[in-house]
Each structure stands twice: as structure tokens, then as C-alpha cells.
Structure 1
């Protein structure tokens, strides 16, 4: 049985992969540098609340899903 993602970075990566996007494609969709996505997914940095709204629209999920891990 697969565990549910617990960190914000894990959630971002899971849903990016579910959309069939690599980090570069995902970063282009969000208009950020690919290293930004890498930092989010590794947990080195967290996106701002404004960027979380963009994530919500890009991945079609409720932003509260992401905000619960911040």
C-alpha cells in the first residue's frame, strides 16, 4: 500500500507526475525557473501562498490541500 504524501514537496511532485509533466514542463506552466520546482519538491523552499494558488489552477486541486502542509 502506497503512503499518502505528507509534505508540501511530496504533494507537488505527486500531482506533477500525475499530470504527466517533468519539472521543466511544470515550471514553464507556472512561469518559474525549473530549479524552483526542484527546491519545492525537495523541501528546500516553499512556494508563497500566491504561488500555491497558481499550483491549484495548474494541477486542478483545492489550494487548502497544499496550505494544510505549510
Structure 2
């Protein structure tokens, strides 16, 4: 249930850079940000972006349980 119109290599690079940013304490100081929440936000937007409408609905249901 993933979109067929995306450049997966580019999208993969973007998510890896976002994870690197998450791990940088100068960008997201752990005493100021909940790392689980930041990771969940990054990952949720990533998943929504690569999914079809049906896939996004399933992903939203899954994340609502977490």
C-alpha cells in the first residue's frame, strides 16, 4: 500500500538524514525533547508520505494504538 510515484532512493535519504538530526543533541537536546515522541513524529510523517490513502489509514490506526 505504498505509492508508486515516489523516488524511493531520495525518500530513503531524507528519512536517514532526519534520523541523524534526531540523534544530534544540539538539534534535539534530550533534556528538552522526548526522543520517543520526536522519533514517532518523524516516522509517522514518513510513513504517511509514502503510503497510499488506504495505507495511510491503516498506519494511522496502528499509530493510534501506540
- State TM-score, norm by structure 2: 0.29
Pick the structure with greater CA Rg. Answer: 2
Which structure is higher in RCO with an 8 Å CA cutoff and minimum separation 6?
A: 2
